[in-house]
Amino acid sequence: MPENPAASELPAEGVLSRIITTRPHTARIWNYWLGGGDYYEVDRAAGERIRQLHPGIGDYARADRLFLGRAVRHLVTECGIRQFLDIGTGLPTADNTHEVAQRLAPDARIVYVDNDPLVLAHARALLTSAPEGRTDHLDEDLRNVDAILERAARTLDLSEPVGLMLLGVVIFIGDDAEAYDIVRRLLEGLPSGSHLVLSHTITSPAMPDVDAAVSYWNQHGTPWITQRTPEAVARFFDGLDLLEPGVVSCSRWRPQPTDGDEPVEVAMFGGVGHKP
């Protein structure tokens, strides 16, 4: 398989020519829900239709972002992690992985991985690093595990613990066996002491409007989303020491007073696991 150049090495026109503006895209809609400005009218319209079907969608977009911040802070301050491999970066907003990590440890190194052209185009301008650390960006698909690990090793020392960030990205792998295998192989490439931070859209009888929203998305948007039960999400952490409180609604993973209102249950579940 030929190696793709890093996003920072791609010519801008090569990235921008891959952007499809006639169909809504999940990264741009997520940006819209988070209050960003990097979306098109087709994304706004789809985002509002999904909000009608599931009024709490904005809550779980924000809950997932806050979960990222709390998890990264924990890994930096409590576990001494100074390296992060963030796959499925999404469009940059506030408090991206490198911002949270380097605010606490300026020498932290972060490799972002995404294959969405709009994400890559913005990564050049927005995902900058503290002088003491480093931030790199790879144009790569989650399925290409070997290529991700090989290219990430140019920036990260894979003999030292790494925080593997998979927030809202495994939902795009429809086959269960393939999804679990991808996560397993990624973790096999990382040493003892590494951590997995993963979030995933769930399906639950208690939240039928979520199923309706995902069904609408899968008819009109791209890429296709797969929901899993909380028990199925927990399987991604098999073989790891799961940190308390386990796999829960992202809003309920170690909430902080600075998060704002009392956390509400959202259909995005997450957890953090330690590789023994």
| Confidence tier at 69 by pLDDT (50, 70, 90) | very high
Q: In this model, does residue 60 exceed pLDDT 60?
A: yes
Position 1 confidence tier, pLDDT thresholds 50, 70, 90: very low
pLDDT at 15 over 60: no
Per-residue confidence (pLDDT) for residue 8, from 0 to 100: 43
pLDDT at 219 exceeding the cut of 60: yes
Higher pLDDT pick, 271 / 216: 271
The DSSP-derived string for the chain is -PPPPBGGGS-HHHHHTT---SS-BHHHHHHHHTT-S---HHHHHHHHHHHHH-TTHHHHHHHHHHHHHHHHHHHHHHH---EEEEES--S--SS-HHHHHHHH-TT-EEEEEE--HHHHHHHHHH----TTSEEEEEE--TT-HHHHHHHHTTTS-TTS--EEEEES-GGG---HHHHHHHHHHHHHTS-TT-EEEEEEEB--TT-HHHHHHHHHHHHHSBS----B-HHHHHGGGTTSEEPTT-SEEGGGSS--GGG-SPP---SEEEEEEE--
Nearest-angstrom CA–CA distance, 253 and 66 = 9
Res 10: pLDDT: 42
Check pLDDT > 60 for residue 78.
Answer: yes
**For residue 39, what pLDDT is reported?**
79
pLDDT at 159 over 90: yes
* pLDDT score of 9: 43
Report whether 30 contacts 61 (CB < 8 A).
Answer: yes
Would you place residue 20 in the very low, low, confident or very high pLDDT band (cuts 50, 70, 90)?
A: low
pLDDT band (50, 70, 90) for residue 3? very low
The pTM (predicted TM-score) of the whole model is: 0.84
